[in-house]
Structure 1
Amino acid sequence: MTDIETPTGVLLGTYTPGTPEWEQARAGLCITATEIAAVMNLSPWSNPFVLWHKKSGLPVPPFVATPQVEWGNRLEPAVADKWADAHDGYGIESTGTWRHQDRDWQRATPDRIVYTNRGKTIELLEVKTSPTGEGWESGVPLHYYCQIQWQLDTLGLDLCHVAVLISGHDYREYTVEYDPDDAKLMRHAAAQFLNHVERGERPDIDDSTGTYDTIRRQADRYDAIDVEIPGPVAARYEATHQQLKAADAEHTQAKSLLLDALGNGRNARHLGRLIAYRTAHEDGTTRSLQPAR
């Protein structure tokens, strides 16, 4: 099947991730499905502060192609094939970047479009990989749920299948149904966010590493000058710095006490609960003391 049409989606094109064309389709004042969780402050990888700077054309921390990302991309076709094998009667196709027919700023790039009844029933398939099952115990993690709702709302579809491969061998399937109330909530948040970008109204500084790394990249020169800092900012920095030093010292002592009590052992437990574990060199001396996850 080709030339798939969806109720509200307009196909902009099919682009290779990382190419200038792909970046252009996602650039400017628009919100993509992978960005909506950041707008809602539910993303583990970004937040409104970082995304605001990106949409404003300001420097942000660079994307890091970790081994997890690389293998997720490499395994995506295999996981999609596994889903297709388990769902005879469905057609499955890769697709491109879409926008909503009435909202040019609403964009989505689903992993796959699947269909039955000669294309009369069109649904989505999202393919995920995860090194652990954390977050998948009771369904699709919330940030992925936001992504899927945004895709369904953009294309005007009712159902998305989710195929996930966990730890390289644990294959699972889920489904997410379209929720008009959740979609409306996200559309409102996205529209407000883009208005803030247009007005130059920056989100508040939060306590995340992403925000700190974004601020680090805003200075474009190094002026040998003095800058008068507001009292509350100066006081908070000095107080928390002293608290950090004290906490570091106290934690170092706590580690020494725990390691001393552990002796030649590996796992430190209290009433059966794992507290920490020791890794060792070949001669038995301690390499590190790791907290329990």
Structure 2
Amino acid sequence: MTAIDERTLTTPTGRLLGSWESGSPEWHAARASRLGGSDMAAVLGRSPWVSPYRLWHLKAGLVKDGETTAAQSRGHYLEDGIRRWWADQNPEFSVVTGGTYTHVERDYQLANPDGLLVQDGRVAGVLEIKTDAQDDPGTWGVEGTDQIPLYYRTQILWYLDCLGLKVAHVAVLTARLEFRHYVVEYDPADAKILRAHAEAFLDSLLFGEAPDKDTTDSTYQTVRELHPDIDDREVQLSHDQVVEFTSARDALADAKANWTLVRSRMGEWMGDAKRAEFLGFRIAARKSKQGGTPWVEADRKCPPSTDFISEEEFAA
């Protein structure tokens, strides 16, 4: 760690706006009309947390960010420790806490890196710090490579493109309490694609054209927030609207009934076993809480049904 002030540092194309606490009024104001790294995953429809529909309404000022989640709070408290671990492992760099930057020409492009890496008196790259609560070794690839989740890669490329830097180092604390280090290099072709999507998204805000709704909880939550009141009146539906709604309701009821039947069968097939497998794939698991009656659920690593060939093909 170092006492270097980020205000004295320059990057090839980044302009420092300020250094504010995440979630502060100044931090929100800087992001209001700009797109940050995490926003870009949502623009592309790749964010596990925010749909394009919700991001659009957030940027339009029609809904507000929710309260800080437990995962976000945990990551905030762990960030400094992960940064110190990475700095100890890589003494050739000085690590400076990052501020909030825009591109010198593209003011809509925002970067808020967790750290800047200084070497020989110049900024040589960025440091991004992550915590991952998913106890799944497949979430992150081989350490030392650029095999990181796509939504994080999108964020990091956006930062590099904004600042004009060529490399990012990613420090991760996994759910198994393993420290890992990954390296992502700048890709100008991918950055060009990101900018094109960003500009199209900003154009849609300008013209008031919200993205289509999708199947995510994020979009449903947004619609709920857009209509917080309940007026004592009726709305008349079209034939197509009522068919769409009732068909989905009936399909859901059928799916729930079939799922209950299949779980009963799986429970019988498994007997007292803890796991069910097929050709090395984990399919189902029996679990219990505090010694209670076990239940059956799909294993977290169970592949989709489309991954399995038909019985005829398997027999052949």
Same-fold call, TM > 0.5?
Answer: yes
Summarize deviations over 1:66-90 as a string: whole Å, max 9, x none.
2x32222222111111111111221
**TM-score, structure 1 length as denominator?**
0.92
From 79, 84, 91, the counterpart of 2:82: 79
From 1, 4, 8, the counterpart of 2:9: 4
Q: 2:21: which partner in 1? A: 16
Summarize deviations over 1:176-219 as a string: whole Å, max 9, x none.
11111111111111111011111110111111111111111111
Cα distance, 1:270 vs structure 2 = 4.7
The 3 A distance-change label for structure 1 pair 287 and 91 is same
From 54, 66, 81, the counterpart of 1:62: 66
1:280 aligns with 2:288: yes
The 3 A distance-change label for structure 1 pair 281 and 76 is closer
What amino acid is aligned across from residue 203 of structure 1 in structure 2? P
CA distance in 2, matches of 1:64, 1:98: 23
**TM-score, structure 2 length as denominator?**
0.86
Determine helix, strand or coil for the equivalent of 2:37.
coil
Q: 2:36: which partner in 1? A: 32
Q: Which runs of 5+ in 1 are unaligned?
A: none
Q: 1:99: which partner in 2? A: 102
Q: 2:311: which partner in 1? A: none
CA distance in 2, matches of 1:32, 1:203: 18
Cα distance, 1:168 vs structure 2 = 4.4
CA distance in 2, matches of 1:144, 1:110: 12
Summarize deviations over 1:212-266 as a string: whole Å, max 9, x none.
1111111143222221223222211111111111111111111122223333333
CA distance in 2, matches of 1:258, 1:76: 43
1:252 aligns with 2:260: yes
Question: CA contact under 8 A between 1:165 and 1:172: conserved in structure 2?
Answer: yes
1:121-136 to structure 2, matched below 5 A, reads 121-131=123-133, 132=135, 133-136=137-140
Moved over 6 A (4+): none
CA distance in 2, matches of 1:158, 1:75: 26
Determine helix, strand or coil for the equivalent of 2:243.
helix
Q: 2:243: which partner in 1? A: 235
The 3 A distance-change label for structure 1 pair 70 and 221 is closer
- Residues matched between the structures, number: 289
Cα distance, 1:281 vs structure 2 = 5.5
Q: 2:120: which partner in 1? A: 117
Cα distance, 1:122 vs structure 2 = 2.2
Cα distance, 1:34 vs structure 2 = 1.4
Cα distance, 1:273 vs structure 2 = 4.2
Q: Which runs of 5+ in 2 are unaligned?
A: 301-316
Question: CA contact under 8 A between 1:267 and 1:276: conserved in structure 2?
Answer: yes
- Percent of aligned pairs with the same residue? 36
CA distance in 2, matches of 1:286, 1:161: 47
CA distance in 2, matches of 1:165, 1:281: 28
1:256-271 to structure 2, matched below 5 A, reads 256-270=264-278
Determine helix, strand or coil for the equivalent of 1:265.
coil
Determine helix, strand or coil for the equivalent of 2:131.
strand
RMSD: 1.9
